[in-house]
């Protein structure tokens, strides 16, 4: 008999915005269903009916938690696919026009926009301020012909900015233009009521909130047409392929746990109570400054998110990727920005962050970003060592620089 795997020590895992470890509740639900709901939900025999029942119960539960109808929910392999289905699916149902996005979108949105460009669309970017918040006046000016679709990231994964989606939704509704919202970093950290938001399309994924990888969803307001990107009869004919009932149940369990955590804390994410003292300690270090909005900013910041720009004591930019490696040598897992962006620009030094560029940072500082993102597994005592570890990492990199 194989011995069970030892439980991983998560005390140094500070990269929740990249992905989160599945919760014990999620693992338990999925382990049970792997034995009873493994069949194809489209099959007509009893095994298939059992899987179909799990699939539809998960759909109903997720829709209820997100303030939507079960008929609005389309399962996908993850948020990247959901974003492509939203943009390319909506774009394929209308004549080419203008897509409006921001310069701080996730790479999946940028990739879908590039595809629309090749199909004859125009892409316009709404400017953002030094916090990463979009200019609502500039957006309003773009909500005229030939604009046919708006897509905005709600919670920016690299600098933590929360966009004023409620105000954006009102502007888009008044202009009669569909709005897609990338809610990947927000779902699980604040209550989401899709009906109240008034968005037409909303994408999210399970693995950012303690759920399994390989499952995401797109909420579609009834009446919004979509051109399927993967043919097949499943998901109302909008996304072909055998549905993974076990993964959908894991997703539903993860969102239920996150929603209960919010409910028990008056609708606020308690992780902010860990984040704020940690941020205060980090900002006392020489050469460390905050990027994106401050936690108390009226526009808001993701509650579990810290983003920093790090320089030497003399003001010379330090490579964020080198800081990530130096911190990992001390047992701390952090990021230098979006994990998906990191794949696109590998290398020792890495390229400058396009997000920091959009915020107006000098080019020399755009490779010096550092992101720390927390989860419910983190405890106050886990975070006490982080400022000292960052100071050691900073000094190590300074000491190894040419001329030292």
Enzyme catalytic residues = 340
Dihedral-angle region of residue 347 (phi above 0 means left; psi in -120 to 50 means alpha; beta otherwise):
left
Question: What SS3 state is found at 94?
Answer: coil
Dihedral, 127, 295, 393, 7 alpha carbons, nearest 10:
-110
Q: What is the C-alpha to C-alpha distance for residues 116 and 98, in angstroms, rounded to an integer?
A: 9
CA distance 380 to 92: 49
- The pair of three-digit structure tokens given for residue 234, joined into one six-digit string: 């499943």
Contact call for residues 307 and 292 (beta carbons, < 8 A): yes
Distance separating alpha carbons of residues 343 and 190, to the nearest angstrom = 28
367: which 2 tokens?
Answer: 């490779």
Three-state DSSP state, 306: strand
Structure tokens at 119: 């199909």
User: Residue 159 corresponds to which tokens in the numbers above?
Assistant: 């600098």
């Amino acid at each position: 008999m194989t011995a069970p795997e030892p439980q991983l020590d998560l005390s140094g895992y500070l990269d929740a915005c990249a992905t989160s470890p599945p919760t014990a509740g999620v693992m338990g639900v999925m382990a049970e269903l792997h034995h009873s709901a493994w069949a194809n939900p489209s099959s007509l025999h009893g095994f298939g009916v059992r899987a179909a029942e799990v699939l539809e119960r998960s759909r109903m539960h997720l829709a209820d938690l997100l303030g939507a109808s079960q008929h609005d929910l389309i399962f996908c392999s993850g948020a990247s696919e959901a974003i492509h289905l939203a943009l390319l699916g909506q774009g394929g149902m209308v004549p080419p026009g203008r897509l409006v996005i921001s310069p701080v979108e996730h790479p999946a949105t940028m990739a879908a926009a590039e595809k629309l460009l090749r199909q004859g669309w125009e892409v316009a970017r709404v400017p953002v301020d030094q916090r990463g918040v979009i200019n609502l006046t500039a957006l309003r000016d773009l909500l005229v012909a030939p604009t046919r679709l708006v897509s905005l990231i709600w919670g920016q994964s690299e600098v933590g900015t929360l966009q004023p989606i409620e105000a954006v939704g009102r502007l888009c509704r008044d202009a009669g233009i569909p709005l897609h919202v990338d809610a990947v970093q927000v779902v699980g950290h604040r209550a989401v009521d899709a009906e109240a938001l008034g968005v037409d399309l909303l994408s999210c994924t399970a693995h950012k909130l303690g759920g399994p990888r390989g499952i995401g969803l797109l909420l579609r307001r009834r009446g919004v047409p979509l051109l399927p990107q993967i043919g097949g009869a499943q998901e109302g004919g909008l996304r072909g392929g055998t549905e993974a009932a076990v993964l959908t149940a894991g997703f539903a369990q993860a969102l239920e746990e996150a929603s209960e955590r919010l409910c028990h804390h008056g609708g606020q994410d308690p992780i902010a109570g860990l984040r704020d003292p940690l941020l205060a300690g980090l900002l006392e270090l020489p050469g460390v400054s905050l990027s994106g909005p401050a936690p108390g900013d009226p526009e808001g910041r993701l509650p579990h998110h810290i983003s920093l720009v790090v320089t030497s004591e003399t003001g010379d930019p330090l490579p964020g990727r080198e800081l990530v490696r130096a911190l990992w040598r001390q047992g701390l897992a952090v990021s230098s920005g979006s994990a998906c962006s990191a794949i696109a620009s590998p290398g020792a030094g890495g390229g400058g962050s396009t997000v920091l560029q959009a915020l107006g940072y000098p080019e020399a500082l755009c490779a010096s970003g550092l992101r720390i993102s927390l989860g419910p597994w983190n405890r106050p005592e886990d975070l006490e060592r982080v400022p000292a570890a960052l100071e050691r990492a900073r000094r190590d990199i300074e000491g190894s620089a040419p001329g030292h």
